Structure 1
Amino acid sequence: MKRLILISLVLFLAVGCASEFNDGMEAFKRKDYKIAFEKWKPLAEEGHDDAQYKIGKLYREGLGVSQDYVKAYKWYYILAKKGYGGGYKYMKMIRREINPDQVSRAEKLAREWMKEHE
């Protein structure tokens, strides 16, 4: 019985997470980037890979938020460490736009985030 309750809870949370991500996608398609950011940021903080990628994109392109290559790099670094190839691609792209101190700061932020979310 406990196992059934646990499985039900996990499924409920997964559906809620997917719903929030999809709400963000709909907002993004409407070019309502602030709403997309609001939907995706909590998911990214929880470790949702697709949300982390999208938050990186919003920061990289300055969509709905001030353009911030350091924050974008942080999210791509986290994805790269998870084995997501797109993370490496965008890290390389951003490195052309920022200085070594900014790269170090972004990597430090990412490592701190990863340590908190082990």
Structure 2
Amino acid sequence: MPVLLRLSAFVFTLAWGAATLAWAEADFQKGLAAYKAGDFAAALKEWRPLAEQGLPKAQHNLGVIYYNGRGVPLNYAEALRWYRLAADQGFGLAQYNLGAMYAEGRGVKQDYVQAHMWYSLAGTHGDRKGLSGLDDLEKKMTAADIATAQKLAREWKPKKK
């Protein structure tokens, strides 16, 4: 393939990617405005396609909607699913919320090791609540469980979509 043709294809790909990101952000913001206005159905309509395409902040926000039963029946299992998809991509707030679900046993069997791991990861990905959640959690854990959780956090790798 001639160099000019490859360069043109590369530039087109970059431009297409930038346009797609701008479109996704615009739809995300529409959903956010609807959520803040209390129109949870409209927020869900904007965020679901973005979440299904793998946008972590949209996935996280669907988790919030299902966790709180905003415009949908309260559904911890569905909240857990969306939080995990975002958390697996390194989205700190979703990691914190996933840790809280494990700590409280909501939608999942209570598991302090998993909660600790997710709180630790949340802290390393910018969510300070994750680090503060560790103090209370560690009081309920054995030293061996804490060591296991720390090992899991060190070995964790982000996943795409």
Q: 1:2 to 1:85 in 2, by over 3 A?
A: same
Q: 1:11 to 1:63 in 2, by over 3 A?
A: farther
Where is the helix percentage greater, Structure 1 or Structure 2? Answer: 1
Map 1:23-102 to 2 at 5 A. Answer: 23-30=62-69, 31-102=74-145
Q: 1:106 to 1:24 in 2, by over 3 A?
A: same
The equivalent residue for 2:35 is none
TM-score relative to the length of structure 1? 0.85
Structure 2: 5+ residue stretches without partners: 1-11, 29-49
Structure 1: 5+ residue stretches without partners: none
CA distance in 2 between counterparts of 1:84 and 1:19 reads 17
Report the alpha carbon displacement of residue 80 of structure 1 after superposing the two structures with TM. Answer: 2.2
Q: Which SS does the other structure have where 1:67 is aligned?
A: coil
- Which aligned segments of 4 or more residues in structure 1 are displaced greater than 3 angstroms? 9-15
Which moved further from structure 2: 97-106 or 28-37?
28-37
Corresponding position: 1:5 with 2:16: yes
TM-score relative to the length of structure 2? 0.64
- Identity across matched positions, percent: 27
Of the two, which has the highest radius of gyration? Answer: 2
Aligned length: 115
CA distance in 2 between counterparts of 1:109 and 1:11 reads 35
Q: Please provide the CA RMSD for this pair.
A: 1.9
